[in-house]
Amino acid sequence: MSWTIANAKQQFSEVLRLCVEEPQPVFNRSRHVAMVVSARDYAAFDAWRQQQQSAAALDVAGLFGPAREALGDAGEEGIDLPPRINRPHVEFDPESEPVAPHAAQ
């Protein structure tokens, strides 16, 4: 069953009774705006959401694992990086043309 906002307000006890059986959609001018769910369904959703957030945090942390290992292997000296030779740095290259900032239009 679905409800308009006005009907849901008038028959709120019925909406709550039915939401234990299945979620109850609420519409405002044919647009789905809410879903009334039981406390049990919400608890299951909340547990799933927290599990997804924990898994996402672990995935992001795992991306930095190889970098941490490389830095850990480098010791106190750090990682030796070759000098940058593939393009000049504008501020420090006297032969390059200065780049003017864009004028506001």
Tell me the average pLDDT across 20-37.
96
Predicted pLDDT of residue 105: 47
Q: Which two tokens stand for residue 55?
A: 């898994």
Instruction: State the CATH class of domain 1-37.
Output: alpha beta
Instruction: Return the domain boundaries, the chain.
Output: 1-37, 39-74
Regarding pTM above 0.75, the answer is: no
Q: Which residues of 61-89 are buried (b: 16+ CB within 10 A; e: fewer)?
A: eeeeeeeeeeeeeeeeeeeeeeeeeeeee
Tell me the average pLDDT across 3-24.
96
Strand residues in 1-105 grouped as ranges (E): 3-4, 24-28, 31-36
pLDDT digits (tens, 9 = 90+) for 56-78: 766 666 777 777 777 766 555 66
Tell me the average pLDDT across 33-49.
95
Only one residue has tokens 């940058």, namely 84
CA distance 43 to 37: 10
Average pLDDT of the residues of the chain = 80
